[in-house]
Amino acid sequence: MKRVSLAAFAAAALLSFGFVPHSAMAALPASDSQGEPLPTLAPMIERAVPAVVNIFTRTRILQRQHPLFSDPFFRHFFDVPEPRERYAQSLGSGVIIDSENGYVVTNHHVIARAVEIAVNLQDGRTLQAELVGSDPDSDLAVLKVEQDGLTALPFADSDQLRVGDFVVAIGNPFGLGQTVTSGMVSALSRSGLGIEGYEDFIQTDASINPGNSGGALVNLRGELVGINTAILSQSGGNIGIGFAIPINMAREITEQLVEYGEVRRGHLGAQAQDLTPELARAFGLKSQPGAVVTRVEPGSPADKAGLAAGDVVVAVNGRPVRDATDVRNAIGLLRIDQRVSLKVVRNGETRTLEAIIREPATAAIEGQKLHPRLAGAQFGNIPESSRLAGKVEGILVTEVDRSKAAWQAGLRPGDVITQANRQSVTNLRELEKAVKGSDGLLLNIVRGNGALYLLIR
């Protein structure tokens, strides 16, 4: 294939579109013919860009090998060497949110599985970063750097954003270095995209590309309104549909990450589905936004508050909800022991219920207790706060020791076992019954957006 250098392509493009050389461009007037200054975002951008950083990570990756080499019996008798490792590098962006303590917010997927994280400041300084905490369900993470003279971005109130507001995205697309693009808010409260567990995205047409993840979305005052996170694209490049996490949501998450190193989501004990026009008619309601409660767990905070199946939740803590995703997002951001107000419609009457969010009761079991070949793994029920709750029925693999047989057989944290030895399993008791006394284990696993069978002998 014939190759053309990027420099030659750029030069040809400038000439073909009638652009003038840099020296001529430098002569453009700073004001119009009436002496008025030309509109520019430069002063705001000059204040904002020092708070946006480029992030570089190194990730350790095991070399793929034949599945037979993972068999402990084969490895022992044939002296198979340990799998070799290699390192991969990735790029992303981040935003300094606390200059005094050196806290930087970015996306979880930017630093996931990283063994080394470096932050490059706008002035050229490169700093080693420590991971404070991360939350896969919201795709947010907080880093800490030790350095004086940092600049932080002030926060805006993202609840005040409107479609049509102008915004600017700042980040490190394709590793080019700090880049600024502008656009507007195209839509608000985007959810149901399957990108994250908790979704309430700002949609923007400001160009967001690979490498922009974790960067800043700011308003024309230079205030942080969102954390750039994802794009919708078939080619992998920008087509004018980008998504950012609203800063109000990000603040709730980052405060817990700084305080605890994780997000401690509470437990309400209720499940809900979207209120469709058909369901609204069935319940004798006018077509309106909301979520229908489908199940209330006995003894849960929702049960103690008086919530019942068939109730239609129309607001949480005074904020209207449009669907079940809004309810889940609102509850997912609350802390344990926090009080929540639920406005519900029951039999045509509106009432307000008060509940106290409690710590979820999580049952877990060591794999060794289920079956010898599951040694090194830990299993639990899918928690209500998980992105998989209500979507997949099965047993969650919560931990896997890399030195044990379960890891060598291919089991990984986050896997969900839906079948064991061809028997469907929805709780730990069913899993224990399915594997008891068997020589080998045939597990049907949901991993990410796919599924696979895993044979453990």
360 forms bridges with which residues in the sheet? none
d(CA 112, CA 230) in angstroms, rounded, equals: 15
Q: For residue 139, indicate whether it is catalytic.
A: yes
Q: C-alpha distances in angstroms, 401 versus 69, 333, 413, 420?
A: 18, 30, 9, 21
CB-CB neighbours of 106 under 10 Å: 30
d(CA 316, CA 268) in angstroms, rounded, equals: 12
Point out the catalytic residue in the list 137, 139, 205, 311. Answer: 139
> Which one-letter amino acid corresponds to residue 375?
A
For 324-337, b where at least 16 C-beta lie within 10 A, e where not — what string? bbbbbbbbbbbbee
Contact indicator for 296, 326 with CB cutoff of 8 Å: no
d(CA 134, CA 4) in angstroms, rounded, equals: 42
Place of tokens 């070399």: 63
Point out the catalytic residue in the list 213, 300, 385, 386. Answer: 213
β strands within 277-317, DSSP E:
291-296, 312-316
Point out the catalytic residue in the list 109, 134, 267, 326. Answer: 109
d(CA 189, CA 199) in angstroms, rounded, equals: 8
Q: For residue 213, indicate whether it is catalytic.
A: yes
d(CA 410, CA 118) in angstroms, rounded, equals: 31
β strands within 136-241, DSSP E:
140-144, 166-171, 179-190, 201-204, 216-218, 224-231
Contact indicator for 153, 212 with CB cutoff of 8 Å: no
d(CA 384, CA 396) in angstroms, rounded, equals: 12
Please identify every residue annotated as catalytic. 109, 139, 213
